[in-house]
Structure 1
Amino acid sequence: MRFLLIIKATEYSEAGLTDNKDFREAFTSYKESLAKKGALLADEKLLPSSTGLRITYSKKEEKPQVLAGPFPINQGLIMEYLLIHVSTEEEALNCALRMPVPKLGGQYEIEMRKLQEKSEPIQDPRIKEIEWSLQDQLNMLKNW
């Protein structure tokens, strides 16, 4: 099962301030431990919302409205996310609970969401062609 651990933005992160060295080291160690056990699929930190755009579609208007950031923190802004793959929801929760929490920056919130599994992944057909070509070449080398 795949889960997204969403770390919500804070006033501290929206101001573009970096966390202290001890927290950064603890967070890096935490992510390395997830990677070593094969659970960490992706992790990305987002820039403050002042660098973003929000596109809103209204039923009344034909064209979308594009707003430039920054956006209010109380609107559930995301600061960072980790995508993990674990066996159970309980294991995902344990991963989230082990995440280091910074001592500065006010309230710290992590949202955990299970990803819906796709029945068939969407794949570029050219990738299949390359895979077949490589398999043919491997077969030729084996018979050589």
Structure 2
Amino acid sequence: MRFMMIVKATEDTEAGVMPSQELVEAMQRYNEELVKAGVLLAADGLMASSNAIRISYPEPGGKPKITDGPFTEVKEIIAGYTLIEVKSREEAIEWAMRMPDPHGHGAGQIELRQVFDPMDLSGNPETKAKEAALREQLEQINNG
């Protein structure tokens, strides 16, 4: 089971305030624990929404609309993520609870979301076969 720990943005992250060295080191230690446990798939911080582009689909079949950041609703913005693969929802919660406060001063918020397995999205055997083939190609590319 894959889970994404989504770190919510704050006014500081949107203003480009960098984390303290102490917080960077705490996150490095946490990520090292995830690696040692063999559950870490990816972990990254994201730049402020002032560097972002939002693509929306305002009408069915219509042309996508492009909006440049920054975006105003800070509580809806993501500042970073950690993607893990674990055996259960409970294990994902345990790992999320161990993450240091992502902003270091009590303003952190993490949203934990399970990632769909592509095979769960379709009952169509042809679609499942295509998805499996794409994943195999991606794995081959990533493994050189």
Per the normalisation by structure 2, the TM-score is 0.79
- Distance (whole Å) between structure 2 residues aligned to residue 125 and residue 44 of structure 1: 24
1:58-108 Cα distance to aligned partner (Å, 9 max, x none):
12783222111000234511110011011110110010010001333x621
In the alignment, structure 1 segments of 5+ residues that lack a partner are 131-144
- Distance (whole Å) between structure 1 residues aligned to residue 7 and residue 139 of structure 2: 36
Quick one: percent identity of the two aligned structures? 39
- Tell whether 2:10 aligns with 1:10: yes
Cα contact 1:8–1:77 (8 A) shared by 2: yes
Q: 4+ residue runs of structure 1 moved beyond 6 angstroms?
A: 124-130
Equivalent AA in structure 1 for residue 104 of structure 2: K
Aligned to 2:124: none
Aligned to 1:123: 134
Which structure has the greater CA radius of gyration? 1
- Distance (whole Å) between structure 2 residues aligned to residue 33 and residue 25 of structure 1: 12
What is the count of residue pairs matched by the alignment? Answer: 129
- Distance (whole Å) between structure 2 residues aligned to residue 11 and residue 28 of structure 1: 23
- Distance (whole Å) between structure 2 residues aligned to residue 61 and residue 126 of structure 1: 30
Cα contact 1:10–1:73 (8 A) shared by 2: no
| CA RMSD, Structure 1 to Structure 2 (Å) | 2.6
When residues 69 and 123 of structure 1 are mapped into structure 2, their CA distance, relative to the original with a 3 A threshold, is same
Cα contact 2:11–2:74 (8 A) shared by 1: no
- Distance (whole Å) between structure 1 residues aligned to residue 135 and residue 38 of structure 2: 26
Cα contact 2:57–2:63 (8 A) shared by 1: yes
Aligned to 1:83: 83
Aligned to 2:33: 33
- Distance (whole Å) between structure 1 residues aligned to residue 104 and residue 137 of structure 2: 49
1:24-46 Cα distance to aligned partner (Å, 9 max, x none):
10111001100111010111111
